[in-house]
Amino acid sequence: MGLWRYAARRLVQIAGLFYVILTVLFIVFRLAPGDPVERMVDPSMDPEDAEVLMAQLGLDRPVGVQYLYYLKNFVSGDMGISFHYGEPVAEIIADRLPNTVLLFTSSTILAAVVGVLLGKRASWSKGRSTDTVLTFSALATHTVFLPWLALLLIWLFAYRLGWFPITGMVSEDVWLDPGATWWTRAVDVAHHMVLPLASLFLIQFGTFLLVMRSSMLETLKEDYILTARAKGLPERVIRNHHAAPNAALPVLTTIGLSLAFSINGGAITETVFTWPGIGRELVLAVSQNDYPLAQASFLLIAAVVLLANLVVDLLYAVLDPRIRY
């Protein structure tokens, strides 16, 4: 089977799976405890007002009818109106998603690059102090409690040293200044991004380092590495040209999925750093039973993860000549 036929077959499978996810999400949110209206009412309102609110949110209809509307809206590209914002869900996601992608994709790429390089180095120095230090650092930062790390970074670098803003994505001094250029604003966002990026990097890079190290150690046992050594090739060439490319294949899966999940953001990071991304919105939407926003966010994540899996599989075939579909 050719690569394109394989891709087409997988796309059909993905479409089927996506429909299942679409339906499961609908059912899960209707079964989940909580009432979207209860947090919108106060004791000065009559119970009838709550019923009116239910009707406005479309929740007075039978569940089957709600489901049909849900499917119809999805097919027509309408993700509904957020219960709490009163805005189209698509606009809320379009507003928040770029912020999340900027932060989390940057951190994933940075962590992947550094993790792979250091993992390569650690495996090459197996048993020596470099390996011990790198492996220990990876394990330590990978297992650290994220909110604690984030608050520690804020306290040290923002509060004590004053090098970075405490939270947020932009500074009002810059963005309210009519004379500010796009460059000033870009720098301002970069400035705000340093601490959340650092905390995400510290949490993530250990994963890539450990995967790369372990993959490299396996690869170094292969016969072609022995052959390369027997040919008298320099260690640097063996490491970088013979071992690393083959060892990087498992890392590719980790990177692909990490990038896919990066659109999910991270509720903790976004909350502690008040980063206006999709992760925090998703958590709020779930906790406040904002069905349209929560469903659309999860659907987006599902779509990206499914497609990322397909891309990784196709990349395998491109990068490894032994793999053919």
- What is the binding site for another protein (CB under 8 A)? 33-35, 37-47, 49-53, 56, 81, 84-87, 95-96, 99, 151, 154-155, 158-159, 162-176, 184, 187-188, 190-191, 194, 270-276, 280, 287-289
SS3 of residue 81 by DSSP: strand
Name the residue nearer to another protein (CB basis): 137 or 271: 271
- C-alpha angle with apex 168: 171 to 289, nearest 5 degrees? 135
By beta-carbon proximity to another protein, the closer residue of 45 and 65 is: 45
- CA-to-CA distance for 169 and 218, rounded, in angstroms? 42
Least distance in angstroms from the C-beta of 70 to another protein: 17
List alpha helices for the chain, DSSP H.
3-31, 47-56, 63-75, 89-100, 106-124, 129-143, 146-153, 172-175, 182-219, 223-230, 235-237, 244-261, 267-272, 278-287, 291-319
Residue 164 Cβ, how far from another protein at the closest point, in Å? 7
Kindly tell me which of 123 and 289 has the beta carbon lying closer to another protein: 289
Least distance between another protein and beta carbon 173 (Å) = 4
Q: Is residue 119 within 8 Å of residue 216, measured between CB atoms?
A: yes
Cβ proximity to another protein, 17 vs 152, nearer residue: 152
For another protein, the closer of residues 8 and 186 by Cβ is: 186
CA distances from 244 to 202, 214, 249 (A): 23, 11, 9
Q: How far is the CB of 301 from another protein (least distance, A)?
A: 20
- When the beta carbons of 156 and 226 are compared against another protein, the nearer one is 156
Q: What minimum distance in Å lies between the beta carbon of 171 and another protein?
A: 6
Shortest distance, position 195 Cβ to another protein, whole Å: 11
Q: Are 263 and 97 in contact (CB under 8 A)?
A: yes
CA proximity to 277, closest of 183, 198, 171, 168: 168
